Each structure stands twice: as C-alpha cells, then as structure tokens.
A and B are shown apart, each in its own frame.
Chain A
C-alpha cells in the first residue's frame, strides 16, 4: 500500500511536469545512456576486475607495478 502510494507520487509528479522539465529529463536520460552504455561499457573497464579473476592475481599484479617494475629498474640501474 505504501509502496503503491510512493509509486503514484513519482508517476503523478512526472505526469504533471512542465514540457521544459520533461525536456530536461530527456537530456538526463541521454546523458546516463552515454555514460553507462557507451563510456563505461566501451571505454572505462575496471582494469583489475577485467584482467584478473582473483584478488591473489590482483595483488600479484600490483606487486609487479609497485615493487618489481620500479624496484628492479632502480636496483639494476645502480
């Protein structure tokens, strides 16, 4: 019952919205679509989640990045 009331509160709110408000909502939806369906999906993968299956693999990768690559480079240099 309460959920129904809340739902109608939102539905009525959107129905009574001015044309300008509706236009604004269209822009918001376009923006959210661009952000999540295009930018996030195609251009912003979570590197660690996508490239490594377990935390163990991720830790190993970070070790490579923070210690091995950098440490060995500096050690070798000297």
Chain B
C-alpha cells in the first residue's frame, strides 16, 4: 500500500481519541453513581430514615447533571464511524451493528424510561416502585456498557464471525461466541468495576470538600461510608480483572503487552517493571518523542528503564515464572525457538490472502467457479494474517504500537489503582473512628482523588486502544485501510469544532454542578 495519507489517518485517530476520551469522562460516573443511588435508596426504603432520602436526593441531582452533560456524546463516535471510518464500518458489518442495535433498543429505552421515573416519580408512585426504577436505571446503564464493550472486545479478539468475500463484510456466525468472547467478558467487568471506583472517588471528593467547608457533616460522612466500601469492592474487582486482562493481552495481543511493558527482547522469567520510564524522557525534546510515538515513528529504538520485579511479567502474563514473554524484537523479527513467526512472514501470508481474495473476485466475475473455489480456499487459509498484507513494503515501525504512550498509561493505571486499594480503607477507617474531620490531609487527598480517578479512567482506555495500534480489528484491518478517503482539512475542522463547542458546553454544565455541590445536601 503505497499512497497512505498519514496526515488523514493521524487526524482521524486523534479525533476519535478526543471524542472517546471526552465521552468517557461522564460514562463511568453514570455507571457507578446509579448503583450507589440504588444502594442508598434501598437503605432509605428499608429503614424509613429520612436522612437517607436527603442523601439520595443530593446524589441524584448530581447524577442528573452528569447524565445531562454526557448525554449523547457517544453518538459523535457513531457519526465518525460513518464519515471517517467508512471502510471499517462496512467491513465489520453485523458484528458491530447487532450489539449496538441491541443497546439502542433495549438498554437506551430502559435507561431513559427509568431515569425519568427516578426524577419525576417522587410522591407519584410508591417507594418500592421508585426503588425498582432506580435499580432498573442502574442495570440499564450497565447493560448499555455491556453491548459497547462486547463490540470493542470483538475488535481486540475477532471471534464468532465469518468474512463473506461476496459482500466484503463480516457476518455473525455465533452470537453467543461474540457475547461470551473472553476478552469482551473480562473487559466488561474490568471497565464497569473501574467505573464504580471512579464514582466512589467522586462521592468521596464531593463529601470531603463539604467536610472541609464544615458543611452537612453527617450527610457527607454517611456518603463517604457507602462510597469507601463500594469503591474498595470496585477497585479490588478492577485489579482482579486487570490481571485477567493482562493474560488475555498476552494471549491475543502480545505486541500490546510488549509495548505496555516496553519489553524490547523477550525472555523466560521476564521481569515486570513496577515503576519506570522510557529512556528518551531524559531527552530535552519530549514533545517530539511523544509525537513520534503517536505517529509510530522510531518505535524499534524506544527502550524503557525502571525498578524491576523478577519473574513478574511471566507470572502476570502466564501464571508461570518461567514462561516466555515475547518482546517487540521477537514479534517483529520472529523467534524460531519459541515458535513465533516474524512479521515478514505474516506480511507475506497476509499478502497471499489479499491476492487470493482479488483473484477470487476476478474468477467469480468470469464465472469460473472452480478457480474461485481454489482461491477462496487459499484466502481462508491465510485470513488470520489478512491485515498484515497491507504492510508490504512498509516500515516495520508502523506495526508497533506507540510504546511510550502505552508504557506510561499502563503504569499510571497500575500505580494509581494500587493507591486506591489503600485509600478507600483509609477513608472507611477514619469515618468509622469518627475522626475524619480532623484529618485535613486525608480530606484534601479525597478531593484530589477525583482527578487521579479521571486520569486512571482515561489511562485505561489509552492503554487498551493505543496499545493495539495499528489495528482497528486485530490482525485483520489496520487504521490506514479502515479510514475513509476524505479531506484531511475537514477532519481537522471537525476536530477543533468539536473541541471548542463541547468544551464551552462542558464549562457551562460544570458550573451548574459546582453550584449544586456548594449548596450541599440541604438544598
């Protein structure tokens, strides 16, 4: 593939990243707060204690504001599929369409109906009916996430589908295989539990702020109590599923794991870098290094350094201290001893697949069914390497994910995730001991925690998505093929248009949220 407009590819990627990261500011709060609201309301209904109703209504107001800020921001992503990524949209076919359609019909309507009952239903329906609506809102919002993450899981590990060369798109063979794709299941649990953690950090941050201001102390402390338990369960489950994620990445996307760890050359008993940094961060021009990273330049030279845990990576990836973990070099140049084919071999195989598809189409057109069958067989044999075929004659760097970005986002996520595991019990303990008001440092950490939570949320997605570059669909479709051939200037224009408009709206909405928070529980 000679005539790649890299500027177009990079701007399209940047635009998608911007909208996805923006969208993900609000989604985890909706996912987590909805369940915390359900728990708070359950306590109110069970005990009949009016303070819980007050607590519930305060967080419901903030939930509503967040819901409003985030509403429909995800639709921009769907617009981009049709405009910027039309080749991809066609190629994925039903695989992406079916889960998204289910989401639209089932979860969205369920969500919007019960959200309305939550807000407008006080005093109009019974307490138990209202509580049911609150629980169904929580379930509905989380079901929305299930379908989206199923689609994303498929892109990371495409299973349960069959490519139809006549329609040039993938068709679903087994819905259950797509739904229960191990990557999708793990991704779903990992994502929603991390969202619960973030929502708990939000509740703690707002409560800590009110305590620092000496306002609504009792309500703030009860909220913190619920949030610290919920957050601890959330972060514990996130870490467990994060371990599961690492094992799946090792199995299905070994290059991503190599990039996340900055592993240049693989080994048995590979160490895990606990805290470290890419070596070039010592260079003066870090901005250039990051830009190179995003564009995929010079990835074969990037190296990392840091404090290592012996055997850590082998255990993390395969539960075996002596397991072989391939590095970037093993995957690019191959490792015969470990049975890893080189990218050169995979490119050759992919090229055979693309050629066979072209010849199949030609034979079909000429009415030569026997020839067509022969080419179809060859195409299928090499389909697993299909996407590699497009890299014939390309720089190998293009097949390596941005290592600095993957490494830094992965380690940020792990380090801060570990901190949250300590932070939630600290909050719980201080509230139980009833001395949290005196611990100003802990309250300040609590307020600051929301920013750390947001960084972790975004870092998680950056690890998952930047780490799988150049693939839009793992091994089958790279970004340069997925992108629509449209004007780069148009993509740049919409990038800035989106950025300016939505930042302005975000500021307006955040002002409403901060006013609501300042007014406190007695509003």
Contacts and interface: CB of A to CB of B under 8 A. Distances in A.
A66 B512 contact: no
B516 A20 contact: yes
Interface string A28-71: 10111011000110011111110000010011001101111111
A45 B83 contact: yes
Contacts of B393: 74, 77
Contact of B2 (A21, A28, A55, A77): A77
Interface residues of A, number: 43
B17 interface: no
A1 interface: no
Given A10-B120, A21-B64, A70-B1, A46 B82 contact: yes
Given A28-B71, A62-B91, A74-B351, A44 B83 contact: yes
A35 B71 CA distance: 11
Interface in B449-485: 481, 484-485
A63 B361 CA distance: 9
Contacts of A78: 392
A53 to B, nearest CB: 15
Interface string B322-364: 0000000000000000000000000000010011011001000
A47 B86 contact: yes
B351 A39 contact: no
Interface string B370-409: 0000000000000000000110110000000000000000
- For the complex of A and B, 9 pairs with smallest distance between CB atoms: A13-B120, A44-B79, A46-B82, A47-B86, A74-B392, A62-B168, A44-B83, A70-B1, A73-B2
Interface of A: 9-10, 12-13, 16, 20-21, 23-25, 27-28, 30-32, 34-35, 39-40, 43-49, 55, 58-59, 62-63, 65-71, 73-75, 77-78
Interface of B: 1-3, 64-65, 68, 71-72, 75-76, 79-80, 82-83, 86-87, 89-91, 116, 119-121, 124, 166-169, 351, 354-355, 357-358, 361, 389-390, 392-393, 481, 484-486, 490, 493-494, 497-498, 501-502, 505, 508-509, 512, 515-516
